[in-house]
Structure 1
Amino acid sequence: MKTAKCRRWLIAIFAFLLLVAGGPGSLAPIAHAEEAIQLSVIAGIGGEYKENGIVPVQVSVTNGGADIEGELLVATGDRGNNEFSVGYYQSVSIAKGATKQVTITVPGSELSSNTYVALMKNGKIIAQTPVGGKRYNYDTLMVGVLAQSQDTANFLGVLPKNAVSYDVRVLPMKPEQIPTSGAQLQMINMLVLNNFALDTLNEQQIQAIRDWTKSGGLLVMAGGAQYKKTAGALADLSPVEVTGVTTVSSLSSLVADKNKPIELTAPFTISNGTLTKGKVLYAEGGVPLFAVQNAGEGKVLYAAYDLAEEPVASWAGNSRFWADTLIKAFGSSLDSSRMSNFDRLWPLQEAADRIPALKIPEVSWFALFFGVYALIAGPVLYFILRVKRKQSYMWVIVPGLAIVTGIGIFSFGAMQRGSGVMVHQTGFVQLTNDGQAKANAVTAFFVPSSGDYKVTIKGQGLSQPILESRRSDQIPKIWASIQADQSEIQFRDVEFWSMRKVASERTIPDAGTIESNLSYANGALTGTVTNKTNFTLKEVKVASSAQTQEFPELLPGASVEVNLPFQPSAQMRNNQKQRLATQLLPQRLQQTPREQSREEIMLDMVEYWQRRGVQSEVMIAGWTDQPIVEATVQNEKVKSDSISLITSALEVKPSKDGHVYYPVGTFDVTMSGSSVPVEDEGEGYRLPAGDITFDINLYRDEKKLSITNLYLYTWSDDNTPFSKEVYNWKTKAYEPFEKVFTNNVMTGDKAGSFLSADGIIRLKFAHQFGDHRHIGVPNVSVEGKVSNP
């Protein structure tokens, strides 16, 4: 009887322990909290986002319980097994019965199907829900649309694949979805404004559109009779100054397919204006219909009509026409794969590991320590203890001496590292022609002791921690907050004597320019280069093709004289670009064998951008120890060091007699069509048996260019032999390449037939092999004379 009673008691106790430790009752507090707190999440724009750039995650929190203060956390970087790397957060305070909306900005590369949003209090999850949404690849062209009609610009989503090889996604936007920082618009490649009241946006949102455009965004401004309200405060970005409204009876210049013309049954309303800058693409009766101009690193396309107005909106040739127009207007800027990706910053990451102050002690010091130890632990101790007949003490003294020696070596290393945090920043800056600069940086910091550390990266832009092979729990140990003017990153439970790194991308609005007054004449590139930036440049090199000239330094405001030999036919080949990056290495580092230096590693950034066709063949590169991103470690004594590579394309001007040579990289070369699906590989395309068409846009600076010689270099990374043809704009037919080019040179007397009225040379390449083959984007340079129109 007693045994049965004891058994019942044991079962009851065991059941109670299960209930407390892991049974359903243990979930009661969280379940109750989740009932009190309701979370809903929308990622990106309407639940769609891109895997690069900054993605807004909008969280709506409804509090059905007591007042609560805590943090909203987006847990990202899922590595499987419910382990997350980074949490992007924002502090919140929600009253009882209230609903609050919070937008947390998160790098798109870190979002995945397992990403979740949680409301946390005192380090514990109160409620959580998955982020969800639809993710698009980095090479998707994302088009945001601000318009009166939600269906405006839907035709952009069905652009013909033989003209635009990448996917296009059109996203209607609401005013509240426009952020207050240009960096937070990075997810969008193109923004269409059409029949939209711009003044419904606040000043910060309008400035964000302006900043986004100047840093590389593609802006389309349209609206017809409503154009002025659409352009609003951004009217100065337009290539056309609109003075009023007019009508046209035909749109004969808008031709995409001769079998699908636009038929107007009534006068068609358009905005009326004059070109102030840039280039007119299409006109009707002298009135610009489409025009484009550069705005910093971005481009602005003007359209004179309302994109939603019939009969153009439902015109059967609309998508084909816009594919041609976008290629003509934006060229290679449409290639969204050129956009920044932190995975491409590995040279800066690797160089950041090499903190100059963090060096292994000299071998001689180790030899001295061990020599003294060996001397004392061996003959000295033996002699002393033998004299005193205490040899047995060796069993105690030698281990103790080993411990003291180890402590001494450890202390010496710690003394060399110091007691503060070592911060080392490596940067890569690309100066633009309008006083701005694109800057990438990796900031590494080495900590002397374990604990929590908070890093602040000041300025607008994207900053995110570089993930290492460290594992974490469901609640990440890295917390980050991307704000409009700075980013804060907390590293928790950092091990002593370890390193953490943060990658940053910024647009520097007041970087200045490298002004060049260079021209080609008599077999040389000559002239002056002036530093109009605030950077003190050292070990500067000016490069033209494979030739370089080095200068010890170039101070702000100072100039140097350039004299480099050149041959127009010796343009940069694709396989020579790595050699150019090597030649930019300072002379002192080329002379003797050595361990790979920070500078040599960082020059791989130039090689990458050269392969992408972003850098010009004529360029300048120099080094500075000025940090390009302001980084601080809160409440810590910091020892800082930095090195940055500053680069800029150099403009080549006509000589006094008008003679000019435009090197490779000057003109935009874009794919304009193909007979088969193609795979974009950045510097070229891979395609099955079929053909691909390239357009070379020779238009430049509103000046008339009379061609003397056009030099062309074609290539394939798998050495595929392919046929080549050139389009004759007079006969409207292709002709064999060898008939137009002799030894890859087209002389000026043939330009009249093979150069279109708006400065386009069209090439068709084809192969007939059974597998996919590579065809590279051709390199082109031009020699000739320029004159004002």
Structure 2
Amino acid sequence: MKKFIEKNLFTALTLILALALVFPALNVSAKNKEIGKYEVKVSYGIDGKYRAMKFVPVTVDMKSLEKDFKGEIEIRVPSRLPGSYDSYSRSVNIAKGESGQAIIPVRMPETDSKFTVNIMEDGKSVLEQKIIFSNGRVSEGNLFAGVLTDDFTSLGYLSYVNYGDIQSGRTGALDTVKLDIDNIGDNHLNIDGLDLIFINNFNMGNFSEENYKSLNAWVNKGGTLIIGAGVNESKTVKIIDKSLLEIKSNGTSNKSVKLVNDSLDLTLSSLEIKNSKVKIGSQGQELVYSVEKGKGEILVTTFDLGTEPLISSKDASEIWNKLLVSSFGDMRDKYKNGGMNYNYQTENLIKNIPVDKVVNVLTLAIIIAIYALTIGIVLYIVLKKMKKRDLIWVAVPTLAVGFALVIYLTGSSTRVNDLIVNQVNIIDINKDGKGQVKGCVGVGTKYKDDVTIEKPQNIVMNFMDASNGYYGMPEEQVLDKLRVKTAYKNNNSYFEFKDSNALEMKQFEISGKEEILPKIESTFNYDGGNLNGKIKNNLDSNINKLILVSGENVWDLGTVKKGEELSIDKLEISKASGVSMYGDELASKYVDVKYNKKGDVRSEEFKNITRYGNVLQMLSSEIIFNAESKLIAITDMEVDYGIEFGKKTLSKYDTTVLVQGSEIDFKDKDGNTNFPQGYFKGVVESTAGSANEDKHSGLIYGDGEMIYSFKVNDETTILNINVNKSESRYGNQGNKGSAEYYVYNYKNSEYEKIALDSSKEITLSNEIDYSVDNKIKVKVVLKDATEGQIPKLTIKGKVK
């Protein structure tokens, strides 16, 4: 018997092993049975290179050998949810014997290197091909640059450009690839991984409207575009579309100019560029112009980038070192967050719906308690006294319906439709009243449901993902559940979510919309440390919170109703450490009052205060705040992006922030100008050792030194210089150790130590000794893992 059992067990195990070997082979055979009908070639990146944690263009070339093909090419990548994948697809129609191409931008997880290309017909995969990202990743320390030119060889020197501060170890290089118009295509995500794009000696008349839209969106998201003029200006700046850049050339002339070190004979274009400033050069000999566009920048050189004698000169590399080193830190920050503009504040704003009144748990408990007492005790006593206890069969259902109606009405403010759409909109308004709108939109379902979202063609809309970090072990997972599908159709796209959990907010970023809005009227004067002025709200909505920002100084102007005129009298600075830190202070104030019982959080003062704090923190990463004064108006103004949600009903919520320029008169009664602390921002000129600036906390860490350079505008004659330190995000808690502060004395050509602590500021005597061309330098020396605060200046002067 024993032998019989052992024999049969052995036979069973052998059969199981044979089946295990056979079935996978059958499965592979089934997946590949269509191979003979199609020829498929897959490549990724731009010229084989890509930037991790950004969108990567995947190019699929396909030939249909036996029949006409109508379907889609789908790329599947692991998502951040275990066992699930994200899909990116594009529809294709290929005639028998013909070839077609699809460029599909996908976002790969940081920890994964595999994706799958599926040829889909009638909703089924007829061919599957696994691809591995084996090489081509651009180093984090380098800038990824695309070069669009008819003469790539002449710009070969760009591959040898190195930049940065060697002493501090913050160095990098340009990692260049050759671009063509197909790379730019009709979707800015094709070039999402690029930090810079050079266009020189290339006929921009070949650009289509879709190419310009793609390039515009890329710049607005933070890209740096560099365009060469000079001898080939007829191919670039003379025919460039106004949607990208408003520029006019008044011809060229030959001049001997000094770019960095060498004097070179170059052909320069005489240019007029709207909203530009000269970045290198002087009046009559402008060399490089800069135009800020969204979060990005367009640089225009008045000379050609690929002609002699420039390309044989050391200046060819040196000028880019000079231009790019100032952008190095910002570009690294863009790389670290994946360029998706995703942060804690964004997530918090989208997930927390700004409902006017939330039902208090205590209120519900009281209603239920009253119901229980009424049904259980009161009703019995009343009916007993009336001697009509037989009415209980009528009274109980009646009371139940009545109390149910009370609960229904009590919770009516939180009741939602099929979809919840929660929008945070930022409108950056220029001098003409035209506003560029950027939005973060959350979409959630009332119940577990499928959702299809179609974006309008005139805006840019991308799915935002919090998963910039670890994804688990996707290489070993079976990916059998779709999380989100992004389908590119013609020049548009839509998003599909299967079995979306109730109230799970799907988050998107939106740009490319414009609004024409009335401006907020304002006049301000800063004198004696106080702000005075008048405001008139011309908007078609109330301003829930109005903030004035100048440099790093913040004034909270409160609430201004629609059409209201408000006078400001002797208002002190609310925060001298910037918009982000003031937003943090608002959120902290609410927490302090709520948990330390220092006030009533239900009062009007604290209504939506944490939301406004998060808005200001998010805003600081989206809008550049410099010496130009700006008004920030937080409103409930509705913005309609034209997004299609099918037949589903919506519950829509808007928090809209308007940012516009404003003017502050800094003159006192004696005619002197008084610029407050932080008006002129210090720029890190050089570092040594491991010293590092943390802009988020407002502190400096490490061992070594940092030199800050402050530039006061040329129209001001400096009368007085006060040196102080910024308040950190955590209060004045710097100097854990022995941070030392020095000011450079130009007369003696040396740094002088100053006794600076957080309780006072230092006034420099003989201010003329400490500034040359209105430039002042402060050095911070950190020893033994010191923690110090960033130096700030207060300047008093007069107009020249």
Which of the numbers 165, 174, 194 marks the counterpart of 2:170?
A: 165
Alignment partner, residue 395 of structure 1: none
Question: Is the 1:85–1:477 contact (alpha carbons within 8 Å) kept by the matching residues of 2?
Answer: yes
Give the superposition deviation at 1:421.
0.7
**Alignment partner of 1:27: what SS?**
helix
- Inter-partner Cα distance in structure 2 for 1:217 and 1:196: 19
1:78 counterpart residue number? 79
Alignment of 1:695 with 2:709, yes or no, is yes
Offset at 1:427? 0.8
1:640 corresponds to which residue? 652
Tell me, in whole angstroms, the C-alpha distance in 2 between the residues paired with 1:192 and 1:652.
38
Q: Quick check: 652-661 or 497-506, which moved more?
A: 652-661
How big is the shift at 1:611? Answer: 8.3
Quick check: 2:527–2:667 contact (8 Å CA) kept in 1? yes
Closer, same or farther: CA 323–447 of 1 in aligned 2, 3 Å: same
Taking the TM superposition and a 5 Å limit, the aligned residue runs for 1:83-482 are 83-107=83-107, 112-125=112-125, 126-130=127-131, 132=133, 134-136=136-138, 141-151=143-153, 152=155, 154=158, 157-162=161-166, 165=170, 167-168=172-173, 169-180=175-186, 186-210=192-216, 212-213=218-219, 216-234=222-240, 242-249=249-256, 251=257, 253-255=258-260, 261-262=261-262, 268-273=265-270, 278-283=276-281, 286-295=284-293, 298-316=296-314, 318-326=316-324, 336-337=333-334, 340-344=340-344, 345-352=346-353, 362-367=364-369, 420-429=417-426, 431-433=428-430, 435-437=434-436, 439-448=438-447, 450-458=448-456, 459-464=458-463, 466=465, 473-481=479-487
Contact 1:141–1:189 (CA under 8 A) maintained in structure 2: yes
- Judge conservation of contact 2:288–2:301 (CA < 8 Å) in 1: yes
* Letter matched to residue 551 of structure 1: T
Please tell me whether the aligned partners of residues 342 and 503 of structure 1 are also in contact (alpha carbons under 8 angstroms). Answer: no
CA distance in 2, matches of 1:674, 1:504: 36
Aligned 1:613-624 pairs, distance under 5 A: 614-615=624-625, 619-624=631-636
User: d(CA) in 1 for partners of 2:241 and 2:69?
Assistant: 46
Note if contact 2:682-2:708 (Cα within 8 Å) is conserved in structure 1. yes
Q: How far apart are the structure 1 equivalents of 2:547 and 2:41?
A: 55
CA distance in 1, matches of 2:45, 2:549: 42
Q: Distance in 2 between matches of 1:254 and 1:730?
A: 28
1:577 and 2:582 aligned: yes
Cα offset for 1:464?
A: 0.9
Q: Aligned letter for 1:452? A: D
| 1:279/1:455 CA distance change after superposition, 3 Å | closer
**Are residues 353 and 482 of structure 1, via their aligned partners in 2, closer, same or farther at CA, if it must alter by over 3 Å?**
farther
Q: Given residue 767 of structure 2, which amino acid in structure 1 is its aligned partner?
A: K
Contact 1:145 1:171 in 2 (8 A): yes
Task: Give the 3 Å change call, closer, same or farther, for CA 316–419 of structure 1 in structure 2.
Answer: closer
Q: Distance in 2 between matches of 1:193 and 1:164?
A: 30
Partners of 1:507 and 1:139 lie apart in 2 by: 30
Separation in 2 of the partners of 1:760 and 1:239? 32
Worse-matched range after superposition: 350-359 or 174-183? 350-359
The residue matched to 2:61 in structure 1 has which SS? strand
CA distance 1:302–1:645, change in 2 (3 Å)? closer
Matched-pair contact (CA < 8 Å) for 2:91–2:489: no
Conserved in 2, the CA contact under 8 Å of 1:290 and 1:303?
yes
Show the counterpart of 1:392: none
* Partner SS state of residue 50, structure 1: coil
Q: How far has the Cα of 1:58 moved from its partner?
A: 2.8
* 3-state SS, counterpart of residue 304 of structure 2: coil
Deviations 1:304-357 (A, max 9, x none): 3332334433434654443223456x6976564385522342221332397968
CA distance in 2, matches of 1:196, 1:290: 19
Give the Cα–Cα distance (whole angstroms) in 2 for the partners of residues 486 and 447 of structure 1. 27
List gaps (5 residues or longer) in structure 1.
256-260, 381-386, 389-400
Partner of 2:386: none
Q: 1:602 to 1:525 in 2, by over 3 A?
A: closer
Note the alpha carbon deviations across 1:616-667, whole angstroms, 9 max, x for none. Answer: 6864332215246444432223333333444556442455986545556654
Contact 2:85 2:484 in 1 (8 A): yes
Cα deviation, residue 706, structure 1: 2.6
Q: Is the 8 A contact 2:580 2:617 kept in 1?
A: no
Is the 1:61–1:100 Cα contact (8 Å) retained in structure 2?
A: yes
Task: Give the direction of change, closer, same or farther, for the CA distance of 1:606–1:461 in structure 2 (3 Å limit).
Answer: same
Counterparts of 1:46-57 in structure 2, within 5 Å, are: 46-51=47-52, 54-57=55-58
How far 1:581 sits from its partner (Å)? 3.5
Shift of 1:225: 1.3
Partners of 2:640 and 2:793 in 1: how far apart? 34
Structure 1 91/647 Cα, relative in aligned 2: closer, same or farther at 3 Å? same
What is the alpha-carbon distance in structure 2 between the residues aligned to residue 187 and residue 515 of structure 1?
Answer: 41
Aligned to 2:647, the other structure's residue is in SS state coil
Q: Deviations over 1:210-232 (max 9, x none)?
A: 45445654332224311342213
Question: Cα gap change, 1:49/1:510 in structure 2, threshold over 3 Å: closer, same or farther?
Answer: farther
Which amino acid letter does the alignment assign opposite residue 273 of structure 1?
S
Distance 1:664 1:537 in 2: 27
Distance 2:429 2:109 in 1: 27
**In 1, Cα distance between the equivalents of 2:186 and 2:290?**
26
The reply to whether residue 767 of structure 1 matches residue 782 of structure 2 is yes
Deviation of 1:66 (Å): 3.5
Report which stretch shifted further, 280-289 or 473-482.
280-289
- Residues 519 and 660 of structure 1 are in contact (CA less than 8 Å); yes or no, is this contact kept in structure 2? no
Partner SS, residue 237 of structure 2: helix
Deviations 1:152-178 (A, max 9, x none): 261574113438936453333212222
Partner amino acid, structure 2, of 1:641 = Y
Do 2:419 and 2:650's aligned partners in 1 also have CA atoms closer than 8 Å?
yes
Q: CA deviation at 1:413?
A: 11
Structure 2 Cα separation of the partners of residues 585 and 15 of structure 1: 65
2:674, 2:325 → 1: CA distance?
25
- Where do 1:747-766 residues align within 5 Å? 750=767, 754-756=771-773, 760-766=775-781
Task: Please tell me the residue identity of whatever aligns with 1:304.
Answer: T
Q: Tell me, yes or no, if the aligned pair for 1:425 and 1:641 is still in contact at 8 Å.
A: yes
Structure 1 range deviating more: 774-783 or 85-94: 774-783
Shift of 1:492: 1.2
1:517 aligned onto 2:529: no
Q: Does 1:494 align with 2:506?
A: no
Inter-partner Cα distance in structure 1 for 2:109 and 2:522 = 38
1:454 Cα deviation from its structure 2 partner: 1.4
The aligned residue for residue 384 of structure 1 is: none
CA contact (8 A) 2:350 2:422 kept: no
CA distance in 2, matches of 1:68, 1:666: 63
CA change 1:686–1:326 in 2 (3 A) is same
- Work out whether residues 707 and 748 of structure 1, in 8 Å CA contact, stay in contact via their aligned partners in 2: no
1:440 maps to a residue whose letter is G
SS of the counterpart of 1:45? coil
Structure 2 distance, partners of 1:144, 1:302, is: 16
Q: What per-residue deviation string (whole Å, max 9, x for no partner) do you get for residues 17-53 of structure 1?
A: 9499825234322111244344433444223333456
Question: 465-474 or 182-191: which moved more?
Answer: 465-474
The change in CA–CA distance for 1:352 and 1:629 in structure 2 (over 3 A counts) is farther
Aligned length: 734
Partners of 1:484 and 1:536 in 2: CA distance:
41
Between the aligned partners of 2:463 and 2:62, the Cα distance in structure 1 is 26
Q: Secondary structure at the match of 1:24?
A: helix
2:343 counterpart SS class? helix
